[in-house]
Amino acid sequence: MDPSLYVILDRAAARGRDLEAILEAVITAGGRMVQLREKEWPSGRLLPLAERLRTRCRAAGVTFIVNDRVGLALAVGADGVHLGQDDLPPRAARPLLRPGMILGRSTHSLAEARQARDDRADYIAVGSMFATATKPDFQLVGPELLRQIRPETSLPLIGIGGVTPDNVGEVIRAGADGVAVISAVCGAADPAAATRRFLEAIRAARDLTTRTRPL
């Protein structure tokens, strides 16, 4: 799992464009982790699309995660499932998963991050970093929450919410191992170019962090 840039594929954010084409652009540009997020379609309708996305990710060696739906993740052989605070807690979901499946958890406070850690999540998403149109009611916690959580766990931390190539460096420097993005890639005019911009900005932020770290 490489969470450096975690692209969330969402039909609403894609504004009618083909998610398979967006996935292809992300893979071509170097993205290594994606999530399928769907808030409207029932799982039966979503299944064929999820299967096609999973097949392409497997062929490319890209980690494929399903948002919310444990049953769908199992049915398509996804690499893992991502659960929000209103979904099953990791401690309840883990026994349902195949051995080795990745389990991610959304968190919005230090207490929730500690609980995700104690519940054996494999990575912790932290947000919202910045204001976001995708989730306008999302609690704004900012990179400062990452700074609070980082000393508490060695698990991968992923900043989410309003992240752009211009502010991603702030998120990485605050302690994130990567960032998750929806509209910034899925809704971009050129998803491949957007993916490359993010990856370049993330590498630059890591280089700067390494150079300025005390000996």
81 forms beta bridges with 66, 103
Backbone angles phi, psi at 174, to 5 degrees: -80, -10
* Local structure of 93: helix, strand or coil: helix
Is 135 annotated in the active site? yes
Catalytic residue among 58, 135, 150, 206: 135
Catalytic residue among 11, 32, 37, 54: 37
Catalytic residue among 4, 106, 128, 183: 106
Under 8 Å between Cβ of 171 and 206: no
Under 8 Å between Cβ of 33 and 199: no
Under 8 Å between Cβ of 168 and 149: no
Is 37 annotated in the active site? yes
Q: Measured between alpha carbons, how far is 86 from 67 in angstroms, rounded to an integer?
A: 12
CA-to-CA separations, 170 to 54, 69, 73, 159, in angstroms, rounded: 32, 31, 32, 10
Catalytically annotated residues: 37, 106, 135
